[in-house]
Amino acid sequence: MFKTVNKLGTGLDRASLRQTILSNNLANVNTPGFKRSDVQSLDVFPRQLQRASVAGLTRTNARHMPGRAVENSPFSVVEDRSTTMRNDGNNVDPDRERVLLLENQLYYESLIDAVSRKLGQIRSVIGEGRR
């Protein structure tokens, strides 16, 4: 159950990073030569979320704390150098950036909702044990 919350946390980290990157793109819409960036590997997170139920680290001693494997970041920031929108070399389309910001906001809010529901399930299980 906590593995799912951890994976959702990874998605929240990705959405937060993407918000920063997209905001930076929009802030530099008039900077000559600026090339937009975005977060790559959008399909990695759903695959990792599906694998959340797979066993993690193995405890070799009862006194060891349960843990999880340290993962490399499932996403990275990539600069788009293949396009140009204007004569000065800038490739930021403000309308597209605003749409991507809105899409990212909805994605973030859906992950927050999923985390809240999962933690609500945990709270419910804990509450039932007290009666």
Q: Which residues of the chain have pLDDT under 70?
A: 1, 41-73, 129-131
Q: Name the residue range of residue 74's domain.
A: 2-54+68-84+92-129
Q: Is the residue at 21 inside a domain?
A: yes
Tokens linked to 51? 């694998």
Q: What is the pLDDT of residues 44-77, one digit of tens each?
A: 555 655 565 454 556 666 666 555 444 456 778 8
Q: 12, 108 in Cβ contact below 8 A?
A: yes
Tell me what pLDDT residue 75 has: 78
Looking at residue 69, its pLDDT comes to 43
Any idea of the CA torsion for 109, 113, 115, 120, to the nearest 10 degrees? 160
How many structural domains is the chain composed of?
1
Task: With respect to residue 63, please indicate whether it lies within any of the assigned structural domains.
Answer: no
Residue 59 per-residue DSSP state = P
